[in-house]
């Protein structure tokens, strides 16, 4: 019979999984705002560069496709926000039902 080594972090009694809570709302919101601004700025820059390039050139095709890709990616932000909100709500439910921790009430 083979012996399997268990990772050390699973044996550590101080390790505990953390659920998202209200305290995580501000950092997550800041990350989302920065991501939206970066995508919007990138799309704007690509659009401006593309309009100043010769028509039907390889460079214009690349900037047009890049701008279209960023526009399609921007459509996912609604889903990302919903998933983050759901994770925070689930984290709050877990903490309320399991005594304040995500691991079934075991406090370290």
3-state secondary structure 32-95: HHHHHHHHHHHHHHHHHHHHCCCCCCHHHHHHHHHHHHHHHHHCCHHHHHHHHHHHHHHHHHHH
The answer to whether 70 and 39 have CB atoms below 8 angstroms apart is: yes
What mean pLDDT, rounded, does the chain reach?
78
CA separation for the pair 55, 58 (Å, rounded): 9
Task: Tell me the per-residue pLDDT of 8-25, one tens digit each, with 9 for 90 and over.
Answer: 655 655 555 566 667 777
Indicate if the pLDDT at residue 101 is higher than 80.
no
pLDDT at 60: 86
With a threshold of 0.85, does the pTM exceed it? Answer: no
Q: φ, ψ for residue 54 (rounded to 5)?
A: -60, 145
List pLDDT tens digits, range 31-64: 989 999 999 999 888 888 888 888 888 888 888 8
Q: What is the pLDDT of residue 108?
A: 46
Tokens 């960023």 correspond to 70
In the chain, the percentage of residues whose pLDDT exceeds 90 is 8
């Amino acid at each position: 019979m083979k012996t399997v080594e268990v990772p050390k972090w699973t044996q550590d009694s101080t390790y505990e999984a953390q659920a998202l809570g209200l305290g995580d709302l501000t950092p997550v919101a800041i990350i989302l705002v920065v991501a939206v601004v970066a995508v919007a700025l990138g799309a704007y820059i690509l659009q401006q560069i593309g309009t100043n390039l010769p028509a039907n050139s390889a460079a214009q095709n690349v900037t047009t496709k890049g701008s279209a890709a960023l526009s399609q990616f921007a459509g996912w932000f609604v889903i990302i926000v919903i998933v983050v909100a759901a994770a925070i709500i689930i984290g709050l439910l877990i903490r309320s039902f399991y005594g304040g921790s995500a691991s079934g009430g075991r406090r370290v």
